[in-house]
Amino acid sequence: MAHLEDARAALLAEGRQARERLAGLERDFASSVAAADAANADDEHDPEGATLAFERQHVAALIDAARDRLRQIQEALTRLDLGSYGRCSRCGGTIGAERLAVRPTASTCIGCAAGQPRAG
Ligand SMILES: [Zn+2]
């Protein structure tokens, strides 16, 4: 079906973006670790150190989110390969095309997603 190929193209494009974003974040993280090490070496009570630690935590959270996103994209692509894409993983119902257009990685229909906000 044509819309499945559209979904695959969208997922692959999104996956590429997510990977680039993740790579950029990991570079940021590595440099913030290096900067924090340098700051600690100078003076461990340097207020700069606290800022850097906060930044590092923030970047780490963004990395987690990017990895999670990438995993969702991967799972959606797997569902496409298995032929279960577009079917709700909870109730087995059809996930609306509109929902998939907005959210190609959706694994639950809108009803189930509303019942369990973190499932979709
Ligand atoms: Zn459902």
- Gyration radius of the chain over CA positions: 19
Question: pLDDT tens across 1-49, in order?
Answer: 567 888 999 999 999 999 999 999 999 999 988 887 777 666 556 677 7
Cβ–Cβ contacts within 10 Å for residue 113, how many? 19
**pLDDT computed for residue 120 by the predictor:** 43
Q: What is the pTM of this model?
A: 0.79
Ligand 1 centroid from CA 101, angstroms: 17
Ligand 1 centroid from CA 15, angstroms: 25
Confirm if 36 and 53 have CB atoms less than 8 A apart.
yes
Ligand 1 centroid from CA 114, angstroms: 9
Report the C-alpha gap between 67 and 18 in whole angstroms: 8
Lowest mean pLDDT among 2-6, 60-64, 110-114: 2-6
What contacts 24+ positions apart, CB below 8 Å, involve 8-15?
8/77, 8/80, 10/104, 11/73, 11/76, 11/77, 11/80, 11/104, 11/105, 12/77, 14/73, 14/104, 14/105, 15/70, 15/73, 15/74, 15/77
Strand partners, 94: 87
Ligand 1 centroid from CA 108, angstroms: 5
Ligand 1 centroid from CA 90, angstroms: 5
Confirm if 51 and 40 have CB atoms less than 8 A apart.
no
Residue list, CB under 5 A from ion ligand 1: 88, 90-91, 93, 109, 112
Ligand 1 centroid from CA 115, angstroms: 9
